[in-house]
């Protein structure tokens, strides 16, 4: 019984098991068929949506609407909002930015006040926020002179500038604060060394004589012709400053003036042939144009996101070409550095070395540096180490890039204002005559330059009304507060130079051209109200050099020549000129 019962039980268990398996399989089939139906219906729906254009548009519409809603939700609920124009998705306020950024900033200041915010682009988030400051009283923290201030950077982290190797070397975009301070200290020692500044005075005079020689050969100075001769001062000045800065930085010639002279048609046959054969001239023309392209490359890599650089074919091509330019330049400048190093090593210990920037950068903190003191103090070792070849290279580029167009443009603006204000020109001529007498060839010394106070006041007043650089950039390292607004770390601040230099609360009759405002009582000028060389820890390093060159040029040109503008009604309008690089074509002056 027991056995039979056991068998029966086993049989009934087997039966149940079989049934449950069958049930399970049936259920699985059912589920599978439901899934199939679902997939089929989803596929049909997608097909319908895609192939039926009205549904497809509907999908796009839903996507765009969601994107716009999340964008404006983020915008209107953002933390610590400050006044500013409402941005558009994707482009932010970029659409209003061009073609004239200076005019744009001026209009926004009028509408939103001395502090406003804008957004320049950003795909899904509100990024690229910029805080514009147009009042000197709000710049104290940003332009603090201490190197450890909370605004040590110019730009936020930038992949493009990293690729250009500029965020950890040199001065202008270096984000490694210790390394920037080290470079700045050494370059400042060079740029302010009396030996270097004296070389600059001499160099300016030699180049001016060279330029006059070309003018004479071109018949510009031939009075017998009895006709007025026009020359494009802006073109000549750009070449002049190129030769000057090249010589001061490397003690080599860039032949920019000579190459420009050779572009004129009225050269004699020998001169034309000698130019064609001259490999050195061609090489140097390439060098000069590549130095300019280096600057173009910085702007391109800084402002073009990696995605656009790699996806858009035209950008890919441009990136490749610009990187080739940088590689060629790096090779050339490093060759120059190595050659100079050999010359320095070969020189006798008591032999005086050239006072150019390259030699000085290579010898500072070595036993060829008269001020060098050997130290084993760990804390001081960083400060007293010599510069590496790569560091010297980067600094050489930056000095070349920073010192050419700025000074050439400023000089053209000075000429423009002097032609429009004959009484100012007359007063300047009196100062020049007082110091140099009637001898139009008397050598200018470094000491003379310091006596040219009225010339200095003219440079200041021209640069107040017509600054060559329109914005100062600063980025916060830590959260901070300005004008009672709170800002997180990494906020980009833009200091609006034209607005501050024309601000009615800082200047008496700001629209009036009046160099005397800098002769009477400079103490009355509010702090940070005159910013054409920047301010604080990152103030322009070439300030002394530029002023010296400008003053020397004013003496050299005006003690001999009577300069007029071809078109006195021509505009020298800051708003029109600032967006352009290179000296103004409007400053064409007949000699």
- Least CB distance to ligand HEM at residue 236 (A): 17
> What is the number of helices (H) and of strands (E) in the chain?
23, 8
- Rank residues 469 and 572 by Cβ distance to ligand HEM and give the closer one: 469
Tokens found for residue 339: 């050659």
- Phi and psi torsions of 212, nearest 5°: -60, -35
SS3 115: strand
- Rank residues 38 and 539 by Cβ distance to ligand HEM and give the closer one: 539
Tokens found for residue 441: 């060839």
Cis peptide before 238 (omega within 30 of 0): no
The most distant pair of C-alpha atoms in the chain lies apart, rounded to whole Å, by: 147
Dihedral sign computed on CA atoms, order 213, 218, 224, 229: negative
SS3 509: coil
- Least CB distance to ligand HEM at residue 465 (A): 13
Tokens found for residue 543: 């300030």
Tokens found for residue 437: 């007498």
SS3 589: strand
- Rank residues 281 and 475 by Cβ distance to ligand HEM and give the closer one: 475
- Least CB distance to ligand HEM at residue 401 (A): 8
- Rank residues 553 and 565 by Cβ distance to ligand HEM and give the closer one: 553
Q: Distance between CA atoms of 215 and 222, rounded to whole angstroms?
A: 9
- Least CB distance to ligand HEM at residue 547 (A): 8
- Rank residues 155 and 315 by Cβ distance to ligand HEM and give the closer one: 155
- Rank residues 129 and 184 by Cβ distance to ligand HEM and give the closer one: 184
- Rank residues 117 and 356 by Cβ distance to ligand HEM and give the closer one: 356
- Rank residues 20 and 453 by Cβ distance to ligand HEM and give the closer one: 453
Surface-to-core class of residue 523, CB atoms within 10 Å of its CB (0-12 exposed, 13-18 middle, 19+ buried): exposed
Note whether 550 and 401 are within 8 A (CB).
no
- Least CB distance to ligand HEM at residue 543 (A): 7
- Least CB distance to ligand HEM at residue 279 (A): 29
- Rank residues 171 and 591 by Cβ distance to ligand HEM and give the closer one: 171
- Rank residues 169 and 309 by Cβ distance to ligand HEM and give the closer one: 169
- Least CB distance to ligand HEM at residue 306 (A): 25
Report strand pairing: 492-496 vs 230-231: unpaired
Note whether 165 and 142 are within 8 A (CB).
no
C-alpha dist (Å) from residue 371 to 350, 363, 368, 486, 578? 15, 11, 9, 45, 42
- Least CB distance to ligand HEM at residue 274 (A): 32
- Least CB distance to ligand HEM at residue 60 (A): 45
Q: Give me the residues that bind ligand HEM (CB under 6 A), please.
A: 171-172, 184, 191, 398-399, 402-403, 406-407, 410, 468-469, 472, 532-535, 538-542, 545-546
Q: Distance between CA atoms of 256 and 243, rounded to whole angstroms?
A: 6
The angle formed by the CA atoms of residues 244, 246 and 250, to the nearest 5 degrees, is 125
Q: Distance between CA atoms of 119 and 91, rounded to whole angstroms?
A: 8
What end-to-end distance do the CA atoms of the chain give, in Å? 135
- Least CB distance to ligand HEM at residue 408 (A): 9
Q: Distance between CA atoms of 265 and 283, rounded to whole angstroms?
A: 22
β-strand partners of 130? 118, 492
Type and span of the H or E element at 496: strand 492-496
Q: Distance between CA atoms of 519 and 278, rounded to whole angstroms?
A: 50
Surface-to-core class of residue 147, CB atoms within 10 Å of its CB (0-12 exposed, 13-18 middle, 19+ buried): middle
Establish whether 455 is an annotated binding residue.
Answer: no
- Least CB distance to ligand HEM at residue 559 (A): 21
- Rank residues 182 and 533 by Cβ distance to ligand HEM and give the closer one: 533
- Rank residues 233 and 281 by Cβ distance to ligand HEM and give the closer one: 233
- Least CB distance to ligand HEM at residue 139 (A): 10
C-alpha dist (Å) from residue 426 to 422, 423, 476, 559? 6, 5, 47, 11
Query: How many CB atoms within 10 Å of residue 498?
Result: 25
Note whether 421 and 413 are within 8 A (CB).
no
- Annotated binding residues for heme: 540
- Annotated binding residues: 540
């Amino acid at each position: 019984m027991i056995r039979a019962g056991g068998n029966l039980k086993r049989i009934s268990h087997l039966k149940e098991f079989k049934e449950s398996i069958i049930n399970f399989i049936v259920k699985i089939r059912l589920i599978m068929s439901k899934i199939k139906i679902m997939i089929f219906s989803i596929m049909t729906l997608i097909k319908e949506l895609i192939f039926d254009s009205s549904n497809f548009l509907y999908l796009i519409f839903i996507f765009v609407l969601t994107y716009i809603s999340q964008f404006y939700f983020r915008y209107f609920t953002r933390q610590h909002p400050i006044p500013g124009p409402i941005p558009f998705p994707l482009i932010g306020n970029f659409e209003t930015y061009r073609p004239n950024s200076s005019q744009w900033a001026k209009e926004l200041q009028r509408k939103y006040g001395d502090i406003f915010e804008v957004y320049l682009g950003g795909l899904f988030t509100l990024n690229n926020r910029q805080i514009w400051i147009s009042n000197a009283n709000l710049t104290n923290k940003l332009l603090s002179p201490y190197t450890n201030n909370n605004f040590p950077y110019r730009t936020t982290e930038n992949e493009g500038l990293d690729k250009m190797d500029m965020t950890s070397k040199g001065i202008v975009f270096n984000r490694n604060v210790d390394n920037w301070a080290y470079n700045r200290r050494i370059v400042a020692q060079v740029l302010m060394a009396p030996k270097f500044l004296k070389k600059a005075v001499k160099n300016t005079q030699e180049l001016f004589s060279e330029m006059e020689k070309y003018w004479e050969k071109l018949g510009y100075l031939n009075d017998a012709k009895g006709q007025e001769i026009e020359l494009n001062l802006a073109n000549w000045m750009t070449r002049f400053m190129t030769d000057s800065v090249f010589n001061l930085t490397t003690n080599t010639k860039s032949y920019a003036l000579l190459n420009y002279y050779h572009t004129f048609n009225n050269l004699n046959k020998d001169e034309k042939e000698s130019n064609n054969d001259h490999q050195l001239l061609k090489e140097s023309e390439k060098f000069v144009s590549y130095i300019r392209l280096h600057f173009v490359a910085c702007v391109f890599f800084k402002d073009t996101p990696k995605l656009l650089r790699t996806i858009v074919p035209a950008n890919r091509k441009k990136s490749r070409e610009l990187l080739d330019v940088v590689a060629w330049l790096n090779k050339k400048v490093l060759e120059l550095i190595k050659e100079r190093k050999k010359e320095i090593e070969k020189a006798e210990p008591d032999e005086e070395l050239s006072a150019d920037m390259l030699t000085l950068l290579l010898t500072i903190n070595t036993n060829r540096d008269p001020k060098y003191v050997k130290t084993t103090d760990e804390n001081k070792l960083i400060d007293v180490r010599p510069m590496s070849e790569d560091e010297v290279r980067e600094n050489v580029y930056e000095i070349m890039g920073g010192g050419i167009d700025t000074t050439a443009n400023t000089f053209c603006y000075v000429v423009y204002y002097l032609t429009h204000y004959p009484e100012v020109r007359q007063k300047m001529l009196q100062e020049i005559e007082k110091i140099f007498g009637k001898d139009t060839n008397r050598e200018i010394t470094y000491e003379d330059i310091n006596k040219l106070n009225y010339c200095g006041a003219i440079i200041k007043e021209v640069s107040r009304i017509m600054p060559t650089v329109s914005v100062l950039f600063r980025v916060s390292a830590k959260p901070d507060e300005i004008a009672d607004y709170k800002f997180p770390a990494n906020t980009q601040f833009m200091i609006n130079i034209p607005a501050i230099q024309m601000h009615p609360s800082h200047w008496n009759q700001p629209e009036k051209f009046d160099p005397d405002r800098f002769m009477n009582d400079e103490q009355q000028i509010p702090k940070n109200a005159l910013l054409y060389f920047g301010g604080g820890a990152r103030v322009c390093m070439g300030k002394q050099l530029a002023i010296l060159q400008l003053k020397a040029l004013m003496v050299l040109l005006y003690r001999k020549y009577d300069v007029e503008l071809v078109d006195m009604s021509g505009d020298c309008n800051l708003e029109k000129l600032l967006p352009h690089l290179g000296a103004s074509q409007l400053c064409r002056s007949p000699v």
